[in-house]
Amino acid sequence: MSERTLVLVKPDGVSRGLVGEVIARIERKGLKLAALELRTADRAVAEEHYAEHAGKGFYNDLVEFITGGPLVAMVVEGTRAISAFRQLAGGTDPVEKATPGTIRGDFGLEVQYNLVHGSDSPESADREIKIWFPSL
């Protein structure tokens, strides 16, 4: 069954020139782009996006980081798109949890600078797509 997921190439991925690499992996997997925009997130969008992490020790740094430069926001669709992209991304910690062959495993070193975001459930995907692409 086709579903949609919200993908971000975070500011570290954009500044390192990895946007094309991430999109190529998405397309090679067979997923489709339904929306794509380069933008700098304001604080309100960032706080809403990461609301589940409010109050955690890394939250302020995370919001600063995600608003600190342009990112690429995408809606990606296809069969099992949510788990398919999480598989492409690899685990949150690019060294301990992401295996080589994944985006984070191949290109990341630090948890905060793990390059990409992908929604983790259908509920998160609906919520996050509304935040980033309210007209979709």
Residue 107 assigned to a binding site: no
CA distances to 25, 48, 58, 131 from 44, rounded to whole Å, are: 30, 6, 17, 10
- State the binding partner of 67 from Mg ion, ligand DAT, none, CB within 5 to 8 A by kind: none
| CB closer to ligand DAT out of 31 and 49 | 49
Q: Cα–Cα distance between 121 and 19 in angstroms, integer?
A: 23
Structure tokens given for 118: 């992908």
* Residues within window 16-75 making contact with ligand DAT, judged by CB under 6 A: 53, 58, 62
Q: Which stretch binds Mg ion (CB under 5 A): 4-12, 19-27, 68-76, 115-123?
A: 115-123
CB of 43 to ligand DAT, least distance (A): 16
Q: Which of 92, 93, 74, 89 is nearest to 32 (CA)?
A: 74
CB of 17 to ligand DAT, least distance (A): 20
Structure tokens given for 8: 């971000």
CB 34, CB 136: distance < 8 Å: yes
Residue 60 assigned to a binding site: no
Among 19, 34, 67, 112, binds ligand DAT (CB under 6 A): 112
For the annotated catalytic residues, the residue numbers are 117
Contact residues for Mg ion, defined by CB under 5 A: 120
